[in-house]
Amino acid sequence: MNMDLSASAQAWVNLFFLWLGFGIVVGMTAQVCLPSGEPKGVFGILVIGVAASCFGPLTLSQFLKQEQFNPISPVGFFVSVLTALAFLLLYRFTHTLLKKQ
């Protein structure tokens, strides 16, 4: 069975897996820096990492007014991990707050 993709489709698939891998690395790094055990599982790490990988560099590029900023770079990684840490702290705070009620 031959499953060749067009060049455009192959570029999108490569981009998807690049962001997926980058998000997992960001999420795992944030979990190591702030071990809490929450959110649990690979899916939780993936969601936090991918969300932080998108939101952090986007916010930085808007703040710095730079049009040509590569989010998958050392600066993008640093900003993404900081954003993931903020997300984890926010998650921990809201989870604790809701548990008390």
pLDDT tens digits along 18-55: 888 888 899 889 888 887 666 777 788 888 888 998 88
pTM of the model: 0.81
Task: Give how far Cα 27 sits from Cα of 10, 19, 41, 50, Å.
Answer: 26, 12, 11, 7
Confidence of residue 7 (pLDDT cuts 50, 70, 90): confident
List, for residues 65-99, the tens digit of each pLDDT value: 766 667 788 888 999 999 999 998 888 888 878 87
For tokens 């926010």, what's the residue? Answer: 90
How far is Cα 45 from Cα 33, in angstroms, rounded to an integer? 13
Phi then psi for residue 40, to 5 deg, are -85, 150
Domain boundaries, the chain: 39-101
- For 25, the token pair is 């690395």
Cis peptide before 39 (omega within 30 of 0): yes
